[in-house]
Amino acid sequence: MASVSTPQELGKKCPLENGGGASGQDSTWILPNLPSKCTWTATTPASKSPHSCVPLTEEKKILPNILKKIGCTPMVQINKIGKSYGLKCELLAKCEYFNAGGSVKDRISLRMVEDAERAGIIKPGDTLIEPTSGNTGIGLALVAALKGYRCIIVLPEKMSMEKVDILKALGAEIVRTPCTRFDAPESNVRVAWKLKSQIPNSHILDQYRNPSNPLAHYDTTAEEILEQCEGKVHMVVIGSGTGGTITGVARKLKEKCPECKIVGVDPDGSIVALPSEMNKTNTTTIEVEGIGHDFIPTVLDRSVVDQWYKSNDRDSFLMSRRLIREEGLLCGGSSGSAMSVAVRAARELQEGQRCVVILPDSVRNYMSKFVNDQWMIKNGFLNDAQEHKPWWWDIKVQKLNLSAPLILLPEVSCQKAIEILQEKGYDQAPVVAESGLILGMVTLSNALSSVQDGNVEFSDPVTKVTYDQFSKVSLEDSLGKLSCLLENDHFAIVVHEQTQCRYLQELLAQVFERGEGNSEADCVSGNGSSSTKQTVLGVVTAMDLLTFASSNDKK
């Protein structure tokens, strides 16, 4: 039966407690970014390959099982979007979400399992464990369900709940991990290896290192592209996650269609693109799922990529929505990443030439994310979502009558926090460190229930019952954005950002002695350093917004 578990629930004591980290010296896990030992070259004959080959097969009218519906995905002409960018070439999309499990990762999931079976490494009844952003997990869970394997998927917290629900429906057990560095002890990669050390007859097929990953695309995806395009393809645009798709497709095209340009797509915040200077950014999180990494996966051969482009979340999601609305292609966010790059890269192509874009997965996984207007507005990717907006929609938050906030220090006990909230008549309050760092929110109901259930003691610090996930707005944000946030959250914190400057003591003395140093340029120059601090100005609820709207009704 499917379940969502913690690592501790899936095994006994783990020997992997004190790291190994980036040094790779801990024998209980294998780094996913080790140098590749692959000896492929574009001129090596197929007969010299040490790997098995899986040729394309003609699809039967009646399939013996759904695994036979992996591969042979359609190639679809893009009509409106290409024209809107003035492209002269033919723009095509290979729709990988038509695979049985809904993504391009079905190909590698089946290939990794069947290659391991042929090699005698795994057998039905064994446990398959995989760290993944979701799609490989879904593919593996699908294969495991049909072939009789136990399946445990280790999934970062940022991945959509739709993926979790699908994995549970397929019978997989799910472990959620923080979104952290790949070599951190709590990362999905390290936790997966930790579980393997605890569970008998368990295996990590390891999409980051497994040669079956790029081979699946070398043998099938690339061959399909060549067959569907009748050998006439001048550019292929592919996003890079593990790097298996772009490596496998590019290697085959380098052999059979060497004039074809391979374009790699890497999101802001990832370090995969070359030259490495491209990866310099202030972006710390990537909302688009399935592409980008903080390491270079072993299976990725960057030498076969002719040019890299960087993508960003906003352009990716807006392009995905355009693909859905204008082309009828029900694709996911990374499809938008690839297409947003393709319309730039394909400008160099001429009439009669052809650009193929890989669309990795479907909209099914993201109904609560980029498909949702409120989510897009909340994350700053969409403005003016409502066609018929209320009169107050574009008014700024600063127009609200904000009362002075009640702020709790982190060392306050749960008992004292409850007493203060009850005495002041507040339902919630922010917890802020003396440095000004906002640690989270505490609600009266959660604090009371946590104490009553025995999860915390009255004497415990309030941080034990603090939520670190909460919505924030600035004074310059619109009430429309606030309204969208309050559709999903009970409250939002109003914050003001300040730039704080730190000077060397002697420089500070000189500045004030001269009466200078008032410019922001001085703060961020080589003479000193600056940091951004958020100050809590208030907490707003739906009732505050309703009160403002009703008392200032413009009708």
Can you tell me the distance from the alpha carbon of 144 to that of 128, in angstroms, rounded to the nearest whole number? 8
Report, as residue numbers or ranges, the catalytic residues: 105
Residues with Cβ within 8 Å of 426's Cβ and at least 6 positions away in sequence, in order, are: 406, 420, 444
- Block residue for tokens 């001269």: 514
Can you tell me the distance from the alpha carbon of 191 to that of 500, in angstroms, rounded to the nearest whole number? 38
Amino acid, single-letter form, for residue 358 = I
Return the ∠ at Cα 129 (arms to 124 and 130), rounded to 5°. 130
Can you tell me the distance from the alpha carbon of 48 to that of 293, in angstroms, rounded to the nearest whole number? 32
Burial of 97 (0-12, 13-18, 19+ CB in 10 A): buried
Backbone torsions φ then ψ of 137, nearest 5 degrees: -60, -45
Under DSSP, is residue 12 helix (H, G, I), strand (E, B) or coil? coil
What are the C-alpha distances in Å from 197 to residues 28, 176, 190, 306, 517?
7, 18, 11, 40, 58
Can you tell me the distance from the alpha carbon of 96 to that of 138, in angstroms, rounded to the nearest whole number? 14
Q: How many CA atoms lie within 13 A of 523 on its CB side?
A: 11
Under DSSP, is residue 145 helix (H, G, I), strand (E, B) or coil? helix
Residue 206 · residue 32 · CB < 8 Å: yes
Ramachandran region, residue 450 (left: φ > 0; alpha: ψ -120 to 50; beta: rest): alpha
Characterize the bridge pairing of strands 202-204 and 173-177.
Answer: unpaired
Can you tell me the distance from the alpha carbon of 285 to that of 97, in angstroms, rounded to the nearest whole number? 25
